[in-house]
């Protein structure tokens, strides 16, 4: 197996950020194919790959998806703006910029050259937490790794991307628009396109020692350098 240099994989991962201002310019087929191939390589439970992508490039269908997305985003955005009022300083400034970019996407999603609509079929999944008395997430374990691979490939290819799950609120309209069969459902829409501004870059995340415990929940891990 070829060994990649440490810098490459990790520089891709550490610069994957939501890119929400996308040029309408088409994505060349070879670039799109590498992004889709990355998704296809992802692991899934029992290697069943219980997901499909509808890659929407036809302008009329993209516009229709954009029209479904705009009011959903608008509703979310109103709540987020109320929330902003309680913030101050750098945090407020940063979230204001993020919201502005997301508002842009809300108005322009249909203009992104490709909308990747991820679909899944739960009948092909072993959802081990489906009977527990809490929200089930395990089905996502066989689809979201494919989305993550696709997004990492976007970074590699210089293609902007972001992911929304808001269109689950419009699943039946999406089903009609994309002719999705009854036993398949939608789990995310990923608009992709070349970035208008800086594209992928620095991200802010919690440090490892706030996310990882050792042996029992709540005991911060100690790692020797």
Q: Please, which of residues 29-58 interact with its own copies by CB under 8 A?
A: 29-30, 32-34, 36-43, 45, 47, 49, 51-58
Q: Give the list of residues 6+ apart from residue 67 with CB closer than 8 angstroms, or none.
A: 110
Of positions 9, 87, 91, 93, contacts its own copies by CB under 8 A: 9
Least distance CB 17 / its own copies (angstroms): 8
Pattern 97-126, binding to its own copies, x per CB under 8 A?
Answer: ----------------------xx-x--xx
Per DSSP, which regions of 37-161 are E strands? Answer: 51-56, 114-120, 160-161
Q: Is 26 in the site for its own copies (CB under 8 A)?
A: no
Q: Is 25 in the site for its own copies (CB under 8 A)?
A: no
Using CB under 8 A as the binding rule, the residues of this chain from 147 to 176 that contact its own copies are: 147-149, 151-153, 156, 158, 163, 165-166, 168-169, 171
Of positions 70, 103, 124, 141, contacts its own copies by CB under 8 A: 141
How far is 37 from 65, CA to CA, in rounded Å? Answer: 24
Stretch that binds its own copies, among 85-93, 103-111, 144-152 (CB under 8 A): 144-152
Q: What angle do CA 56, 9, 155 make, to 5 degrees?
A: 30
Q: Is 12 in the site for its own copies (CB under 8 A)?
A: yes
User: Do 193 and 24 meet the contact criterion of CB atoms below 8 Å apart?
Assistant: yes
Stretch that binds its own copies, among 84-92, 105-113, 200-208 (CB under 8 A): 200-208
Alpha-carbon separation of residue 127 from 46, 86, 137, 146, 182 (angstroms): 12, 39, 8, 17, 19
Name which of 59 and 107 has its Cβ closer to its own copies: 59
- Which of 38, 43, 42, 55 has its CA nearest to residue 119? 55
Total residues at the site for its own copies (CB under 8 A)?
Answer: 107
Name which of 42 and 173 has its Cβ closer to its own copies: 42
- Which of 196, 204, 110 has its CA nearest to residue 160? 196
Using CB under 8 A as the binding rule, the residues of this chain from 60 to 89 that contact its own copies are: 61
Helix (H) or strand (E) holding 191: strand 185-193
């Amino acid at each position: 197996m070829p060994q990649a240099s440490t810098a490459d994989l990790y520089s891709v991962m550490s610069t994957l950020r939501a890119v929400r201002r996308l040029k309408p310019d088409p994505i060349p087929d070879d670039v799109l194919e590498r992004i889709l191939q990355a998704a296809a390589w992802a692991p899934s439970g029992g290697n069943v790959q219980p997901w499909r992508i509808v890659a929407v490039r036809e302008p009329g269908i993209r516009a229709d998806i954009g029209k479904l997305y705009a009011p959903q985003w608008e509703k979310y955005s109103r709540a987020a703006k109320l929330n902003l009022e309680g913030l101050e300083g750098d945090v407020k400034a940063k979230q204001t910029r993020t919201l502005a970019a997301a508002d842009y996407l809300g108005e322009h999603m249909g203009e992104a050259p490709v909308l990747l609509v991820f679909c899944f079929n739960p009948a092909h999944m072993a959802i081990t937490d489906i009977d527990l008395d809490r929200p089930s997430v395990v089905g996502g374990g066989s689809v979201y790794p494919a989305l993550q691979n696709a997004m990492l490939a976007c970074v590699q290819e210089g293609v902007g991307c972001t992911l929304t799950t808001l269109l689950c609120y419009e699943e039946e309209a999406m089903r009609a628009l994309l002719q999705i069969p009854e036993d398949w459902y939608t789990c995310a829409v990923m608009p992709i396109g070349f970035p208008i501004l800086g594209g992928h870059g620095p991200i802010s995340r919690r440090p490892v020692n706030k996310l990882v415990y050792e042996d029992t929940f709540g005991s911060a891990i100690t790692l020797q350098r």
